[in-house]
Structure 1
């Protein structure tokens, strides 16, 4: 670093100019680059406490500006714990070879035995080195920071390229061309990827042909805009594009739509342009006869256009918006060029759709026999047959139309070999629904085909969506059991077959069937989870599913339920409820009841008592027999038997009606009798008959207290 005074804070700018970076990760790369540099400089005490960090990212650059950076950090006091004194010093108080090696590793070899201090760590006498070290200098610290930032970028895939010397090569996400490092108005001498730092950079690839010589970090954004025609800030660029899009759409009496797809496209086009300008394009209205999803997908996915919609109806129009990287007075060539590019894609979509309509969807089912689902699970047709059988079984239990459930399951995957889905796999199910409707299939069958790929059900099931819910459930159960059964169990963050998502979707189906009235809160027989999994297992060929799969999948589903509940309930409450493996549609209601019980003044005492009871029952030699009232002799045990006899009918009735909170509140009235029993009665009496009878009494209490949840798990 040349002529740098460390006396005051100055702004620092680092910019790495590259070839076009991957657009879908550009913003993440920009944040990571800035954070990597900030982290190391902060560790070296070179940043002011209020130092502002601003990251920049464009298609061809990653940059960061730090508002207050020192040329050299202040002196730093240090205390280094070395080793036990008996190991580090000889009897003559001289440094041993072991300590000398330790000191050298910490660059403290200049210290003598007299320079070291002694202190106890509570067990033995230790040696410590104390002193003041000079603060880190910016130049080497910045080199370390840049190396760290580059090494820790979340790069999806690196490439190796040759440097200008023609002999050496480096690895990076894209070839890098220039490096800027400015501290105030001074260049910091660092290097990376075969580049040496300077103050020159490049602007827009087409709108700025000359090098830009940056004055200092504070002028970066303005110089890039004025001289380079580049909006360096990703956030500012995105906001500008958004304003232009909404402005153009409003002027045309349309909207760009809403939702995650629009936001994701906005992020992507922001990463593709450095000087955005929005223009209006259009296509022939004849293409609007094609399902809008096809046109929207090809415009967004392939061309990065923003389709325009009627604001009142949401209907697709024949216009779209282009986010260009050029601002020119006459954009007609840009507009006409984009219209020329999109027209053949829309024509292809029209051709695919019209061609697919010539073959009834039902006639496509047989072609699934040639599509492998998994080499251990057979073809897509094999899978369709399994789902179909399971869907008909579920429909029968729910009193739904078995024929429609079977028909929807049969046709659900028939569009996989269609021309349109072959071109746009994202349209699976959507195109099947269009083809089914064109073939005159029932409305609920069409809707079930369309809804099969939803992540979860989020509205109560109605008569019109009952078939959809049935097919949705059947497919997820088949997926969970089949994929798990052949050993493809999720591990850590890896879940390539989406089993976690399938389990969450299945849970949502139970919840929405309850909300829609197709499952009663007290009904545990209909759609019993273990029963469904067992029935599904029978649809697979013998020997395909590994032993124990049913129980493992059931446990897996309850664990996903646990994760959902953790947002609303204490873990002890969740443990208490899930310990009983209740019907999935009861889990939420039981958890709310258990949480309310946990707040009652009786909860702590009853939970502890139930934990004690559970332990006593485990130690019993045999299962407790029925209670013999004539063997009760102590007042406290008679009182407990009486209160159980009084409360049990009411608690049982409340439980049967799904009033879980009421049932738990009723049994909470037994607290005083329970406390008196344990204070005054010896359960494990010497007389075997008395002992067995008291265990029977506690077993009755335990059974009634733990209908809703295992309250012993509430005990802290």
Structure 2
């Protein structure tokens, strides 16, 4: 076995779970490489390549040693003070330590351990051979794989996500004599299930990828397969656009080892069905790639990725077209059947659908959302009757055949069916929009009616689920309360809605029968939303101290936050900002330690010119700042505040606040309290102090 050479490890398996394949491949490679590096077989920056295909996980690590370097091991024992008695003779503690190490006391040495001198035994340990080490390293790497459920196969007790049929371990050109999962290492692997003719003997570890591709018709690299699929799809699509997300590309890459892209067609008559239904069944059930024109409308063409590259793909294409025709026929059947009864007729049936056993039926939920949406629409000067109607119909499509088959289409199908029923377009649009935003970056509702229903739906979820004790814990959030909270915040902030979030929460709370929810629910949900708000604002580019400065007053008008934050950003760029922030922090500390009576400062009690100057500055700037605040001109308010810097600096340079004269002292504290209130009208600028 070569002293330093590439190490190849491959597990040949039955078809692995496609949605987990990429993660499994990366985790397996990272786990094994970490073990090799930890024991010195590979350097900390040793390059490696992870491979993952439907039937294999593999890793190739460069410059792996045949034997780990010898290690010096130091075992620390008792302190010198505890190891020797007053006469310098070994104590039982030291004798026991030496006996445990198998040496005489004289073989021990003294060393410094922090503040104490201790006895220690230093020995050299021979580095393990790769063959001795690899089995344990593989077992450790496999244990750390993110596999929720294991399976057993055959008569053995080996466990893995799928049965493992082969195991390759090559160091350079030599097989590493080891075993894992009941299999002894070898150099033989298998290629493509249909395009390869038999076992492939690997001569050198470094040739793995090239040999497997040439002889086995397998592209082992996940990334290379993904790139080939994307290129093939783009070429086949031509002028059309591919309607697919990255998840579909990734899943299809995990299903094939030798990808080939083919084009199929379906009857244009199916385009009468809403395109969301057709695209969903193509993507979700068949893993096909729908094509849309430049106008965004679905074409009756689709692309498929096959695991078979053949000269004449007609049979493959026709077979897939036949399967898709059956799927689309099912979708058309659901669509036709659903339209035979109006949405309104389904609403009473929601009484038979349990929302939550502590919160009633879906009909009771709809009635709560209806009342709340109407109230919110009134606050927004929107049409209350349209908001109420949209809320009334918002959950009716849950009882349709199409949504029963494809839950992802809830709201979307409601919109189509509402249009078919002759409902106003505003109502139809709001039925779809009330689920928005469904995910990060999703579009928000398009008008005030949509906003009203979306807010009502999310507020009902937040207050109701939280109020019965089902708040999120750790990474568990089964009712998606974090998403609901972020949705409310995004709508309020990005649509600049002049609504008080606490009043909204209270209104949602009132929709539930007395005693249903915990009393502290509104306050707890508000705090939860402010915490989500911090994350949202950081993602928008605001700094943590700017956010804390604005949130210090527990704001309830969420639409006000971004203008205040933008004003704070501009303020801190001013030359006066640092001085005023530091002064405000100093004022806070003084006021915190003193007993301040709420009263206005009096000019007749001012003894120093500096305090009179500060008082005059407050009288001058105060009304200007208040006018700016009333008009939400926060940048102008803080710019005006910057004009107080000289008076503030002079006050602290020349005035002793805590003077012995109680009346003068209290007046100066009142002056500082007034200054503190003025300084913090926009935000708590003391939070900006370094």
* TM-score, scaled relative to structure 1: 0.91
Determine whether 1:329 maps to 2:338. Answer: no
Task: Pick which of 585-594 and 601-610 moved more.
Answer: 601-610
Corresponding residue for residue 523 of structure 1: none
Once the two structures are TM-superposed, the CA of residue 606 in structure 1 deviates from its matched residue by: 2.8
Corresponding residue for residue 439 of structure 1: 421
Partners in 2 of 1:460 and 1:272 — Cα distance?
Answer: 32
C-alpha contact (below 8 Å) 2:54/2:254 kept by paired residues = yes
Partners in 2 of 1:99 and 1:56 — Cα distance?
Answer: 53
Q: Secondary structure at the match of 2:220?
A: coil
Task: Pick which of 695-704 and 672-681 moved more.
Answer: 672-681
Determine whether 1:606 maps to 2:580. Answer: yes
Question: Cα–Cα, structure 1 residues 345 and 605, in superposed 2: closer, same or farther, change >3 Å?
Answer: same
Q: How does 1:127-166 map to 2 (within 5 A)?
A: 127-130=119-122, 132-159=124-151, 161-163=152-154, 166=155
Match of 1:667 among 636, 641, 644: 641
Q: How does 1:284-295 map to 2 (within 5 A)?
A: 284-295=267-278
Determine whether 1:375 maps to 2:361. Answer: no
Q: Secondary structure at the match of 2:666?
A: helix
Corresponding residue for residue 572 of structure 1: 545
Partners in 2 of 1:712 and 1:104 — Cα distance?
Answer: 63
Task: Pick which of 220-229 and 401-410 moved more.
Answer: 220-229
Once the two structures are TM-superposed, the CA of residue 195 in structure 1 deviates from its matched residue by: 1.1
Q: How does 1:187-336 map to 2 (within 5 A)?
A: 187-250=175-238, 253-257=239-243, 261-310=244-293, 312-336=294-318
Task: Pick which of 673-682 and 291-300 moved more.
Answer: 673-682
Partners in 2 of 1:576 and 1:418 — Cα distance?
Answer: 49
Partners in 2 of 1:277 and 1:271 — Cα distance?
Answer: 14
Partners in 1 of 2:94 and 2:392 — Cα distance?
Answer: 77
Partners in 2 of 1:580 and 1:425 — Cα distance?
Answer: 41
Determine whether 1:22 maps to 2:5. Answer: no
Question: Cα–Cα, structure 1 residues 291 and 559, in superposed 2: closer, same or farther, change >3 Å?
Answer: same
Q: Secondary structure at the match of 1:321?
A: strand
Question: Cα–Cα, structure 1 residues 95 and 56, in superposed 2: closer, same or farther, change >3 Å?
Answer: farther
C-alpha contact (below 8 Å) 2:433/2:454 kept by paired residues = yes
C-alpha contact (below 8 Å) 1:94/1:113 kept by paired residues = no
Identify unmatched segments of 5+ residues in structure 1.
520-525
Partners in 1 of 2:106 and 2:625 — Cα distance?
Answer: 79
Partners in 2 of 1:409 and 1:512 — Cα distance?
Answer: 22
Partners in 2 of 1:459 and 1:27 — Cα distance?
Answer: 26
C-alpha contact (below 8 Å) 2:350/2:396 kept by paired residues = yes
Q: CA RMSD in A?
A: 2.4
Partners in 2 of 1:670 and 1:466 — Cα distance?
Answer: 42
Question: Cα–Cα, structure 1 residues 541 and 68, in superposed 2: closer, same or farther, change >3 Å?
Answer: same
Q: Secondary structure at the match of 1:120?
A: strand
Q: Per-residue displacement from partner, 1:599-620 (whole Å, max 9, x unpaired)?
A: 4443344333323433444455
Q: How does 1:495-644 map to 2 (within 5 A)?
A: 495-514=477-496, 519=497, 526-567=498-539, 568-582=541-555, 583-619=557-593, 621=595, 623-644=597-618
Once the two structures are TM-superposed, the CA of residue 53 in structure 1 deviates from its matched residue by: 0.4
Once the two structures are TM-superposed, the CA of residue 80 in structure 1 deviates from its matched residue by: 4.7
C-alpha contact (below 8 Å) 1:190/1:196 kept by paired residues = yes
Partners in 1 of 2:517 and 2:475 — Cα distance?
Answer: 24
C-alpha contact (below 8 Å) 2:98/2:105 kept by paired residues = no
Corresponding residue for residue 70 of structure 1: 65
Task: Pick which of 114-123 and 429-438 moved more.
Answer: 114-123
C-alpha contact (below 8 Å) 2:94/2:105 kept by paired residues = no
C-alpha contact (below 8 Å) 1:20/1:59 kept by paired residues = yes
Question: Cα–Cα, structure 1 residues 596 and 172, in superposed 2: closer, same or farther, change >3 Å?
Answer: same
C-alpha contact (below 8 Å) 1:178/1:195 kept by paired residues = yes
Match of 1:37 among 20, 27, 32: 32
Q: Per-residue displacement from partner, 1:174-224 (whole Å, max 9, x unpaired)?
A: 111111100011111121111111111122222224222111212212221
Corresponding residue for residue 81 of structure 2: 86
Once the two structures are TM-superposed, the CA of residue 645 in structure 1 deviates from its matched residue by: 0.4
Task: Pick which of 602-611 and 18-27 moved more.
Answer: 602-611
Partners in 1 of 2:677 and 2:563 — Cα distance?
Answer: 20
C-alpha contact (below 8 Å) 2:50/2:60 kept by paired residues = yes
Identify unmatched segments of 5+ residues in structure 2.
none
Task: Pick which of 301-310 and 618-627 moved more.
Answer: 618-627
Determine whether 1:364 maps to 2:346. Answer: yes
C-alpha contact (below 8 Å) 1:683/1:694 kept by paired residues = yes
Once the two structures are TM-superposed, the CA of residue 103 in structure 1 deviates from its matched residue by: 7.0
* TM-score, scaled relative to structure 2: 0.94
Q: Secondary structure at the match of 1:288?
A: helix
Corresponding residue for residue 681 of structure 2: 707
Q: Secondary structure at the match of 2:61?
A: strand
Q: Per-residue displacement from partner, 1:79-119 (whole Å, max 9, x unpaired)?
A: 554442233456687776655776788xxx35543443323
Once the two structures are TM-superposed, the CA of residue 490 in structure 1 deviates from its matched residue by: 1.2
Q: Secondary structure at the match of 1:669?
A: helix
Q: Per-residue displacement from partner, 1:650-708 (whole Å, max 9, x unpaired)?
A: 11122222222221222222233223333443434555543433332222111111001
Determine whether 1:419 maps to 2:407. Answer: no
Partners in 2 of 1:94 and 1:418 — Cα distance?
Answer: 89
Q: Secondary structure at the match of 2:29?
A: helix
C-alpha contact (below 8 Å) 1:40/1:144 kept by paired residues = no
Question: Cα–Cα, structure 1 residues 215 and 89, in superposed 2: closer, same or farther, change >3 Å?
Answer: farther
Partners in 1 of 2:123 and 2:213 — Cα distance?
Answer: 49
Once the two structures are TM-superposed, the CA of residue 621 in structure 1 deviates from its matched residue by: 4.6
Q: Secondary structure at the match of 1:206?
A: coil
Task: Pick which of 607-616 and 228-237 moved more.
Answer: 607-616
Partners in 1 of 2:331 and 2:631 — Cα distance?
Answer: 55
Partners in 1 of 2:318 and 2:171 — Cα distance?
Answer: 46
Partners in 1 of 2:662 and 2:33 — Cα distance?
Answer: 74
Partners in 2 of 1:325 and 1:93 — Cα distance?
Answer: 79
Q: Secondary structure at the match of 2:227?
A: helix
Question: Cα–Cα, structure 1 residues 121 and 386, in superposed 2: closer, same or farther, change >3 Å?
Answer: same
Question: Cα–Cα, structure 1 residues 90 and 273, in superposed 2: closer, same or farther, change >3 Å?
Answer: farther
Partners in 2 of 1:209 and 1:92 — Cα distance?
Answer: 82
Corresponding residue for residue 646 of structure 1: 620
Q: Secondary structure at the match of 1:319?
A: strand
Question: Cα–Cα, structure 1 residues 179 and 87, in superposed 2: closer, same or farther, change >3 Å?
Answer: farther
Partners in 1 of 2:468 and 2:242 — Cα distance?
Answer: 45
Question: Cα–Cα, structure 1 residues 92 and 342, in superposed 2: closer, same or farther, change >3 Å?
Answer: farther
Partners in 1 of 2:442 and 2:158 — Cα distance?
Answer: 54
